Structure formats: C-alpha cells, structure tokens
Amino acid sequence: MAKAAKTAIKTKDQKAAAEAKNWTKVIKAVRSPKSGAYTFKEAIVHKDKIKEYLTEK
C-alpha cells in the first residue's frame, strides 16, 4: 500500500514539481558601506532572472 500512496502523490503534484524546478535560490555577497564587511542576501529567483538579480545594486 505504501507504494500506491507514493505513486498517487507523485502523479498529483507533477505540474507543481515541474514549475518548482524553474526557481533557484541565489546568495549574493553585499559589502557594507560603513564597516566594509560582507553580508549575504538570499532570494529565490526565477531561473530566467538570475543575471538581472546579480547585477542590480
């Protein structure tokens, strides 16, 4: 029975799983103007907009 339940879950959420693969977690190092230390900003960005996110200030 466990295999049947797993199969049902996989087939029900295939569309959501396919859409989720288009998103990426991006971690960007940002330098603080006061102290000069680096901080990290995390964001979940669509895979087509990664370069735009990294080039913006």
- Average pLDDT on 41-51 reads 95
User: Does residue 7 lie in a domain region?
Assistant: no
Count CB neighbours of 28 within 10 A: 13
- pTM, two decimals, is 0.60
User: Does residue 57 lie in a domain region?
Assistant: yes
- At 5, the pLDDT band (50, 70, 90 cuts) reads low
User: Does residue 16 lie in a domain region?
Assistant: no
- Average pLDDT on 29-39 reads 94
How large is the C-alpha radius of gyration of the chain? 19
User: Does residue 39 lie in a domain region?
Assistant: yes
User: Does residue 28 lie in a domain region?
Assistant: yes
Q: Residues 20, 26, 27, 31: is their CA dihedral positive or negative?
A: negative
Residues 29, 16: Cα–Cα separation, whole Å: 30
User: Does residue 5 lie in a domain region?
Assistant: no
Query: Which residue segment(s) compose the domain that 40 sits in?
Result: 21-57
User: Does residue 4 lie in a domain region?
Assistant: no
**Domain count along the chain:** 1
